[in-house]
Structures are given as structure tokens and as C-alpha cells.
Amino acid sequence: MSDMCVRLFKEGWFETDGVGGPDSDPKLSKMKKEVVVGSKDVREVDNDFFLVVVKILDHQGPLSSTFPVENRMTPFTKRALKNHLDRTKNLPFVKRISDFHLLLMLARFLDVNSDVPALAECVQTQSPVTEGYQLLIESLANAS
């Protein structure tokens, strides 16, 4: 909503229909006073007048989201881990595991109190993953 709409509401320019209790939002019906919209004095204003267009920008961050999502009908498996690692084998290992859903899957198999925070730290700082963790993750993927 535009700042103008918020300001007009706070200043009491809108009439409400009185529907709803103290914890619900009343429905706005029309203006108490005339306002100028499109060079006309009016008491009713189309809701679209108060909308603000917000440009959506693409964002490229260090995390990916190509690993299967855990709350979908298709369950993620160790086979999915192997496929993901095979598909990203040309990337540095830290980039290969920089996927939120992959880290959630690893949390099922690795120690949540020590291993997962260490891997998350590597992902956050994009620092190299130790060879031990690489071997653990790759052996987990090959155990499918």
C-alpha cells in the first residue's frame, strides 16, 4: 500500500462498515471527505489507486536450491544426494553442498551439534570443506 493510503487512513479520511470485532480489520467502504483522484473530487476510490508497484529483482546468492525439497510428495533419498553430487562435480565441494535442503538432509545423518554447524559455517563463509566431511558426504551418497 502506498504511504498516501496509510496517511489518509490515520487521518480518518475513510468510513468503515463497522464489521468485525476489536481484533479484526474493518472493511473500508468510502471516503468521509472528497479527495482529488484523476483531477476529480470523489468519495469512492478504486483500491488500485493505493497500490504501489514494486520491482522484483533477480538475486544470485551463494546458496542454490536444486536439491529435492523435504516437504514435497517425492521423498529425498541418498540416491538424490548422489545425483546432486554427480550433477555438480565440476564445482568446488563447498558450492556442491551450498543448498539449504541438502543441508537439512545431511542433518538426518550427521551430528546436528557438531557436524552440521561446521558445514553450515563453511557454506556461510564459502570456505573449503575439510576432507573428512567430503569423504563422509560422498560415502553417504554412495551407500544408496
Residue-wise pLDDT for 97-131, tens only, equals: 999 889 988 998 899 999 999 999 999 999 999 99
Per-residue pLDDT, averaged over 58-75, amounts to 69
Residues 36 and 90 in one domain: no
Asked whether residue 60 is domain-assigned, the answer is no
Tell whether the model's pLDDT for residue 136 goes beyond 70.
yes
In a domain, 118, yes or no: yes
Structural domains counted in the chain: 2
Residue 18 has pLDDT above 60, yes or no: no
| More reliable by pLDDT, 97 or 3 | 97
pLDDT of residue 32: 64
From residue 94, give the alpha-carbon distance in Å to each of 54, 134, 140: 34, 9, 16
- Rounded CA separation 131/94 (Å): 11
**Contact partners, residue 37, CB within 8 Å, separation at least 6:** 45, 49
- The residue segments making up the domain with residue 26 are 3-50
